[in-house]
Amino acid sequence: MATRFLLLALFALVFSQAIASDPSPLQDFCVADKNSPVFVNGLICKNPNFTTPEDFFFKGLDQPGNTMNKLGFNANLVNAMALPGLNTLGISIARLDFAPYGLNPPHTHPRATEVFTVVEGTFYVGFVTSNPDNKLFSKVLNKGDVFVFPEGLIHFQYNIGKTSGFGISGLSSQNPGLITIANAVFKSNPPISDDILAKAFQLDKKIVDWIQTQI
């Protein structure tokens, strides 16, 4: 019995590590070799003898992004592709810029929890829990406020101020991924049948067709 319990405990430990968002590093660092033709779950390590301080450096988050678009929003994501030294470290960072009343629309990060810090502006933010409750947790944030969005849950950030604003987000993956809900549903390639979307959203097919032309 004791042996079986020990085996179960070891299995649980190994399994818990296997389902983690990003694997834990097994060395001091693993700078990404973006030129390697080898395909793995992540990025191949560059020979540590050839690494330089530049591999751990990124410049530019002080610069505002271009928000001249339909949403009035821009994201500058620093992941392992932009900053090779992040490879295997399980983190990334992003600057989020908003025009007045700009919106980061409902979306998910399939591999990361996000913590959002307001640097300038006033934001209405929130996330929705999974089925069956679909409960909305929302809050108005001001300069210096922080809000966390759990991994995989649909969330949004909306600048409710009359001036531009921006924030910094930390994400718990070197490659958090992004699924913008409206784009994924109404702008897939090839498109999802409008019969399916009309039934799913309880809309007339003409409305579905119109939405698909707007995104």
Sign of CA dihedral 121, 124, 130, 135: positive
pLDDT mean for each 10 residues of the chain (215 residues): 48 46 83 90 91 96 96 98 95 98 98 97 98 97 98 98 97 97 96 96 95 91
pLDDT of 40: 86
What is the CATH superfamily name and number for domain 19-177? Jelly Rolls (2.60.120.10)
Nearest C-alpha neighbor of 144 from the set 128, 114, 173, 167: 167
pLDDT per position as a tens digit, 8-52: 444 444 444 445 568 788 889 999 998 899 888 889 999 999 999
109 is an annotated ligand-binding site residue: yes
pLDDT of 23: 76
104 is an annotated ligand-binding site residue: yes
pLDDT of 3: 52
Q: Give domain limits for the chain.
A: 19-177, 179-214
Burial annotation 141-173 (CB, 10 A radius, 16+ → b, else e): beeeeebebebbbbbbbbbbbeebbbbebbbbb
pLDDT of 99: 98
pLDDT of 13: 42
107 is an annotated ligand-binding site residue: yes
As a whole number of angstroms, the longest Cα–Cα distance in the chain is 67
Entry pTM:
0.86
